[in-house]
C-alpha cells in the first residue's frame, strides 16, 4: 500500500509500505477515506533530522473497516469509522477517569509498528476503545466536518472547557490556525457572549468572524495584551484559549486572563517553563489543558455536526489526493492553506 513518510525537514514522500494487517485480536484494519494534515505535522516538517527509514505520518482519519480481530465487538467490516488522534483501550483506570490520551495501553499512530493516518490503510490497535462508528457513508457531504472531530475540533472544544467558557463570559482565542478557529466555534457553542480572536491572517480572521468572533486583535506581544485590556475595561477576559504553544503566545494568553479567569492550553508547548508565574498566582488564574480526550468529545460533538449546528469542516480550504500530500505540507507550511483534506479514491480504499 502507499503511505506518507517524512524523511527529514521539508522532505515528505509517498512511499510503498507493507500492507496494514491484523496483528492483535483487538486490532481493526481501516481503509482510509479521508485524512488531514495537522498543524502539529508541521513541527517535524520544519525541524526533523534526516532519517534513512523515515517516519510514517498522519493521525486524523476516517475510513471503512476492512477487517477486525477476533476480540473486536463494536464494529464490523463495512462500517464507516472515525479515529481520534491517539488510540486507547477505553477500559483502563485512566480511561475510565477521563483522559484517554494517557491510556495505559494506548499510543500514537505512525510509531511502534502502527501505521500513520495519511496512507491507504491503518492497523488501529484497541479498536473497540478507539474507533467510533459513524451513521453516514464514506462519501457523505459532512466528511470534512466529521474529520475535524478526530483532532482540531475536539482540541478547540478542550481548550474552551479548560478555559471554563460559559454563558455571558468573554473569551479570547490566541491563534488563528485550524485549532484556534475551532476554538471560536467551541466558545460560541458553550455560550460565550464575546469572543476576541488574536491573529493576523485576513482569510482566517474572516472565517473566525463567520464562526462567531466578535472582536479582532492583530497586534502581537505587549501591544496585543494592551489591546485586549482596552477591549475589556482594563480587566482582561474570563477565558483564554491558547492554541499555538509558542513562548510569546503563551505569555500573551496568561497576561490577558482577568483575576479568577482560566487559560486552556492546547497548543503543544515549545518551552519547558510556563511564563508569568507570579502575576497568574496573585490573580488566581487557573492554568489547565493538554491533549484533548477526542474519543470522548467525538460522541459529545457528533450530534451538532450531523444536524449542521456547527461546521468545523470549513477550516479545510484545500482538497488533495494522496500523491499530492507533499505539496499539501508545503502549502500549509507557507500559510497558503489553512488546512489540507486528503481524499483517497475508492480504488485506493479497496486495495
Ligand atoms: Zn486506557
Instruction: Give the domains, in start order, of the chain with CATH numbers.
Output: 2-150+293-349 (3.90.180.10), 153-289 (3.40.50.720)
CA 129 to ligand 1 center in whole angstroms: 8
Length of the chain: 351
Taking 3-state DSSP, the helix, strand and coil percentages for the chain, each rounded to the nearest 5, stand at 35, 25, 40
Choice among 91-100, 158-167, 341-350 with the minimum mean pLDDT: 341-350
* pLDDT tens digits for range 194-203: 999 999 999 9
- DSSP string across 46-106: HHPPP-SS-EE----EEEEEEEE-TT--S--TT-EEEE-SEE--S-SHHHHHS-GGG-TT-
Write down the residue that cell numbers 460565550 correspond to. Answer: 192
Query: What is the three-class DSSP state of 196?
Result: strand
User: What pLDDT, on a 0 to 100 scale, did the predictor assign at position 110?
Assistant: 95
Dihedral angle, C-alpha 149, 150, 152, 156, nearest 10 °: 60
CA 26 to ligand 1 center in whole angstroms: 13
What confidence category does residue 139 fall into, taking pLDDT thresholds of 50, 70 and 90?
A: confident
CA 7 to ligand 1 center in whole angstroms: 31
- Three-point CA angle 47, 49, 50, nearest 5°: 130
User: What pLDDT, on a 0 to 100 scale, did the predictor assign at position 347?
Assistant: 62
Cα 199 vs. chain centroid, distance in angstroms? 18
| Mean pLDDT of all residues in 296-318 | 97
Residue 62 is placed in which grid cell? 476516517
* pLDDT tens digits for range 145-173: 999 999 999 999 999 999 999 999 999 99
Ligand 1 (ion): residues with CB under 5 Å are 88-89, 92, 95, 103
What confidence category does residue 349 fall into, taking pLDDT thresholds of 50, 70 and 90?
A: low
Write down the residue that cell numbers 479497496 correspond to. Answer: 350
Amino acid at each position: 500500500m502507499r503511505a506518507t513518510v517524512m524523511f527529514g525537514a521539508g522532505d515528505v514522500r509517498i512511499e510503498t509500505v507493507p500492507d496494514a494487517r491484523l496483528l492483535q485480536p483487538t486490532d481493526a484494519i481501516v481503509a482510509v477515506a479521508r485524512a488531514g494534515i495537522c498543524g502539529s505535522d508541521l513541527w517535524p516538517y520544519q525541524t526533523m533530522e534526516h532519517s534513512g527509514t523515515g517516519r510514517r505520518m498522519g493521525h486524523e482519519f476516517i475510513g471503512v473497516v476492512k477487517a477486525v480481530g477476533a476480540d473486536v465487538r463494536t464494529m464490523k467490516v463495512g462500517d464507516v469509522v472515525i479515529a481520534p488522534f491517539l488510540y486507547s483501550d477505553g477500559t483502563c483506570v485512566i480511561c475510565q477517569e477521563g483522559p484517554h490520551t494517557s491510556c495505559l495501553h494506548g499510543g500514537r499512530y505512525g510509531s511502534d509498528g502502527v501505521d500513520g493516518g495519511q496512507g491507504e490503510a491503518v492497523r488501529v490497535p484497541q479498536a473497540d476503545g478507539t474507533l467510533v462508528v459513524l451513521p453516514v457513508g464514506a462519501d457523505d457531504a459532512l466528511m470534512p466536518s466529521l474529520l475535524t472531530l478526530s483532532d482540531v475540533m475536539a482540541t478547540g472544544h478542550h481548550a474552551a472547557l479548560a478555559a471554563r467558557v460559559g454563558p455571558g463570559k468573554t473569551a479570547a482565542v490566541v491563534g488563528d490556525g485550524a485549532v484556534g478557529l475551532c476554538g471560536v466555534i467551541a466558545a460560541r457553542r458553550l455560550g460565550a457572549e464575546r469572543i476576541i480572536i488574536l491573529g493576523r491572517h485576513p482569510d482566517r480572521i474572516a472565517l473566525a468572524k463567520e464562526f462567531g468572533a466578535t472582536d479582532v486583535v492583530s497586534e502581537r506581544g505587549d501591544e496585543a495584551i494592551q489591546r485586549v485590556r482596552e477591549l475589556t475595561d482594563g480587566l482582561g477576559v474570563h477565558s483564554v484559549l491558547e492554541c499555538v504553544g509558542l513562548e510569546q503566545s503563551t505569555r500573551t494568553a496568561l497576561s490577558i486572563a482577568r483575576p479568577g479567569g482560566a487559560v486552556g492550553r492546547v497548543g503543544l508547548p515549545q518551552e519547558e517553563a510556563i511564563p508569568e508565574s507570579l502575576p497568574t498566582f496573585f490573580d488566581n488564574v487557573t492554568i489547565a489543558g493538554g491533549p484533548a480526550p477526542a474519543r470522548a468529545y467525538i460522541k459529545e460533538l457528533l450530534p451538532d455536526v450531523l444536524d449542521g449546528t456547527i461546521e468545523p469542516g470549513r477550516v479545510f480550504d484545500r482538497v488533495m489526493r494522496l500523491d499530492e500530500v507533499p505539496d499539501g505540507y508545503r502549502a500549509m507550511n507557507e500559510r497558503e492553506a489553512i488546512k489540507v483534506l486528503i481524499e483517497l479514491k475508492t480504488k485506493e480504499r479497496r486495495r
